[in-house]
Amino acid sequence: MTTHKIKQVAARLLLAALAAMMAIGPVRAQTYTLNQSVQVLPPYTNKLSDYFAPGKIISTITISDAASHNRPEARLAIRGYIQSVDNDGAIQIGTNEQMRYPVIIRGTVPPTGAPGTFPPYTLTYHDIQGIFTERALSYQGITREQVTRDGLPAGMYRICFEITDDVYRASDTNFTRPQPAGQGSYGPFCSAPFTITPAMAGEAEPPIIIN
């Protein structure tokens, strides 16, 4: 076999190996079959902090294949963000990629070894505050100062979450690091788009009528 043919065979083997690795990747990427519903309730103001108020975001995580794992708890790490819709996501404000908020969903595993279950988990106000804490937020397409001074620009937005397996099992801190390659990754899970209208700044005060 000539040197040229040897190189051709080696190249083909390398391509085959890479294709096999790509095919295997998605199979081991996720630990659970996981879904998350996200709803944002009106009114839709241009004040960023309004979206992290109690009862504003209603979001529930469901795990549908817990029986195949037989684990007493699911340890997850969550990041969230608000993103503009009508300009291809040019504006995005959310949890820094290097900081994810840990959430533990406790399930039931019978002592008999029978399949266990995880109940649906609705993010609490404490969770929302942790995910969107100011010290963890990063700003893309707009500055922190602009949002503080002028609020969010008018347009369509959505709120999304991304979830990973919390392989670091953070306990002493409110945040965990991103997962290593090959660990579970889920989402993004997004709300329906909503419209933020221009703030009624500078509107004249109604007259005071004195009888």
- Tell me the pLDDT tens digit for each residue of 65-91: 655 556 678 889 999 999 999 888 899
pLDDT given for residue 97 in this prediction: 83
A 10 A CB-CB count for 190 gives: 17
Q: How far apart are CA 72 and CA 143, in angstroms?
A: 42
Segment 94-122 mean pLDDT: 83
What pLDDT is attached to residue 123?
Answer: 98
Q: Which residue, chain included where needed, has tokens 């975001």?
A: 57
| Per-residue tokens: 198 | 């221009």
Q: Which of 47-61, 63-77, 104-118, 196-210 has the lowest mean pLDDT?
A: 196-210
Q: Determine the distance from the C-alpha atom of residue 85 to the mean position of all C-alpha atoms in its chain, rounded to a whole number.
A: 16
Residues across the chain: 211
The whole-number pLDDT of residue 159 equals: 98
Q: What percent of the chain has pLDDT over 90?
A: 50
d(CA 48, CA 157): 12
Which whole number is the average pLDDT over 189-198?
94
pTM for this structure?
0.74
- The distance of Cα 90 from the centroid of its chain, to the nearest Å, equals 17
Tokens of 156: 């369509």
- Name the DSSP class of 40: E
CB atoms near residue 33 (< 10 Å):
12
**pLDDT 10s digits, 125-181:** 999 999 999 999 999 999 999 999 999 999 999 999 999 987 554 443 555 555 444
Phi, psi values for residue 93, rounded to 5°: -125, 120
